[in-house]
């Protein structure tokens, strides 16, 4: 009779947080208004941070917010308007907008998503703002944002995490890959399944720190194709699920 295969033992959250914090620093993440964060995250889809930021700067150059524009005082605990005039973006032609964000890739998908969000807000809210998210709880806000074209749970969670400072843990490609390798989720778990699993596993007050550390870890050591297991701060505590044996040393 053959024995059942061993189930990988996943490391505790506090071990991962402690080990990664000892070796890695949390990158600075400027806080943006909710609508700014939504568009920035849409730009980040399927591209590099460098190209996302280049597209963002291009939007700011082509559709700048005038220094003379009168803007309302931001609500308590929020941030003021950013460098882009969203009304100008809304009035731009699809071709103008595609040209502005082309460097981020997939402009033919991202432009309709951005335009849809702006048109919906103008029609339904009466202003180009997502500040009304502050009146929703986390579940309501995620459900609302994911009704927008091109916005999934990961994009919605980024808005809540980074702009509203809600205790959510966005699951991007790095977080998903590492959660699988740590056996926190099954090897083929989806991003949405992983989002729910990490919400149960990671304490609310540690989700922002965990997200930022996993992002840094995934970019520097636990990379996709050739993870640097020999330099990993988790060492033998990592079950290395899915890592080729020649690399898992």
The predicted model gives 139-161 an average pLDDT of 97
Residues 208-227 have a mean pLDDT of 96
Res 80: pLDDT: 64
Each residue's pLDDT tens digit, 10-48: 999 999 999 999 999 988 888 999 999 999 999 999 999
Is 29 an active-site residue? no
Cβ neighbourhood burial of 76 (10 Å; 0-12, 13-18, 19+): exposed
How do residues 93-140 score in pLDDT, each as one tens digit? 999 999 999 999 999 999 999 999 999 999 999 999 999 999 999 999
Choosing from 29, 154, 188, 240, the catalytic residue is: 154
pTM above 0.95, yes or no: no
Average pLDDT over residues 171-180: 97
The pLDDT, as a whole number, for residue 2 is 37
Whether pLDDT at 4 is above 90: no
Range 173-178 contact pairs with CB under 8 angstroms and sequence separation of 24 or more: 173/218, 173/224, 174/214, 174/215, 174/217, 174/218, 174/219, 174/222, 175/211, 175/214, 175/215, 175/218, 177/218, 177/222, 177/224, 178/214, 178/217, 178/218, 178/222
Q: What are the beta bridge partners of residue 64?
A: 84
Alpha helices in the chain (DSSP H): 13-23, 34-44, 49-62, 86-91, 94-101, 107-124, 138-145, 153-158, 173-181, 191-201, 207-220
The pLDDT of residue 245: 84
74-83 pLDDT, tens digit per residue, is 444 556 668 9
What was the pLDDT predicted at 110? 97
């Amino acid at each position: 009779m053959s024995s059942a295969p061993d189930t990988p033992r996943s490391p505790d959250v506090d071990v991962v947080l402690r080990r990664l914090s000892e070796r890695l620093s949390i990158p600075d993440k400027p806080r943006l208004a909710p609508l700014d964060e939504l568009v920035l995250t849409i730009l980040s889809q399927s591209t590099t941070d460098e190209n996302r930021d280049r597209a963002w700067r291009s939007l700011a150059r082509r559709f700048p917010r005038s220094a003379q524009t009168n803007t309302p005082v931001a609500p308590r605990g929020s941030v003021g308007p950013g460098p882009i005039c969203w009304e100008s973006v809304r009035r731009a032609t699809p071709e103008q907008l595609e040209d502005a964000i082309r460097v981020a890739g997939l402009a033919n998908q991202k432009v309709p998503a951005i335009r849809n969000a702006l048109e919906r807000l103008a029609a339904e809210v009466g202003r180009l703002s997502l500040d009304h998210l502050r009146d929703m709880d986390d579940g309501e806000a995620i459900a609302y944002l994911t009704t927008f074209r091109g916005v999934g749970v990961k994009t919605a969670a980024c808005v809540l995490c980074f702009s509203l400072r809600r205790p959510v843990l966005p699951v991007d490609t790095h977080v998903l890959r590492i959660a699988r390798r740590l056996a926190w989720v099954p090897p083929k778990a989806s991003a949405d399944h992983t989002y729910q699993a990490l919400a149960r596993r990671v304490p609310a007050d540690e989700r922002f720190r965990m997200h930022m550390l996993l992002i840094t870890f995934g970019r520097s050591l636990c990379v996709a194709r050739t993870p640097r297991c020999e330099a990993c701060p988790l060492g033998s505590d990592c079950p290395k699920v899915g890592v080729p044996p020649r690399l898992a040393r």
